[in-house]
Amino acid sequence: MKDFQGTPGTLTGLLLRTSQCLFAAGSIASMATTSSFFRITAFCYLMASMALQVIWSFALACLDTYALARKKVLHNPILVSLFVVGDWVTAILSLAAAASSAGVVVLYTGDFGLWKGEECLKYQISVSLAFFSWIMVEISSFIMFWILAAG
Amino acid sequence: MKDFQGTPGTLTGLLLRTSQCLFAAGSIASMATTSSFFRITAFCYLMASMALQVIWSFALACLDTYALARKKVLHNPILVSLFVVGDWVTAILSLAAAASSAGVVVLYTGDFGLWKGEECLKYQISVSLAFFSWIMVEISSFIMFWILAAG
């Protein structure tokens, strides 16, 4: 196992988890305040995916805080394998959700020019935050996979 | 470096590259035969992404064939780093393209029920083949990243 910033139980690891959680929560909040997101499957999928992201990242942020407070090293191979699977699943789901919602938003704002105003802006903010959340979880996934493969 | 099936210069590696290339080519062919894909950004992005996938996978399939014929081992760290970056970029672009197109197709076929018939079927086939291509390139990406991290 290699020990560097971003691995579980480090301050950078905790910051990554917190930012994933906050971006995903922001994405949900922005989408939930629109009046008709539930009519579009891609937006419902984005909500479900971001909810999963919030739960996963929050749980790992708590674990990182515990490890930091007790000065424990979380490099148990079984634990790291679990983190790798969880991170890759949430990363793939987040990217797919963000991209499918972006496809719909671009269709209505760019291609057809039908959506304008505050509602449209909320959709765009939600999709952007989902992409930011995905970037953060992708970084975590690479770090996890690296420590598993190099272990 | 670890040596197992699926790494560059093996028969499984060649099969993975060939299937990526064929699925991506099939996706382009199915989309190109529709009459109005160019009006929708997500579908244009799918075409561009799958074209990149075809070029990348075809180049690596040729390299694998050469390595198999000459019985060479392609585990040079610089070469593997290049494969890792290329694979991850194409994998992320393929998933984003497939998901954004799927978002649009589901919107019109499922949510609004506006698209029916042959044209719609072609869109669905194109998106499905893009997802298959992504699954294959994702497997290659994991293998490449593994041999880089374990090297």
pLDDT digits 0-9 by tens, B91-134 = 999 999 999 999 999 999 988 888 888 899 999 999 999 999 99
**List of chain B residues whose C-beta atoms are within 8 Å of the C-beta of residue A106:** 41-42, 100
Give the pLDDT confidence score for residue B4 in this predicted structure.
75
ipTM for the whole complex: 0.90
**List of chain A residues whose C-beta atoms are within 8 Å of the C-beta of residue B102:** 100, 103
Q: Is A107 on the interface with B (CB under 8 A)?
A: yes
Give the pLDDT confidence score for residue A2 in this predicted structure.
59
Q: Which two tokens stand for residue A41?
A: 């499957």
How far is Cα of residue B46 from the mean position of the Cα atoms in its chain?
A: 11
User: What is the share, in percent, of chain B residues with pLDDT greater than 70?
Assistant: 98
Backbone angles phi, psi at A133, to 5 degrees: -60, -40
Encode pLDDT of A89-132 as tens digits. 999 999 999 999 999 999 999 888 888 888 999 999 999 999 99
Query: Is a pLDDT exceeding 90 seen at residue A141?
Result: yes
Task: Outline where B1-151 has alpha helix (H).
Answer: 11-32, 41-70, 77-106, 117-149
User: Who wins on pLDDT, A114 or B74?
Assistant: A114
**List of chain B residues whose C-beta atoms are within 8 Å of the C-beta of residue A31:** none
Residue B80 in contact with residue B112, Cβ under 8 Å?
no
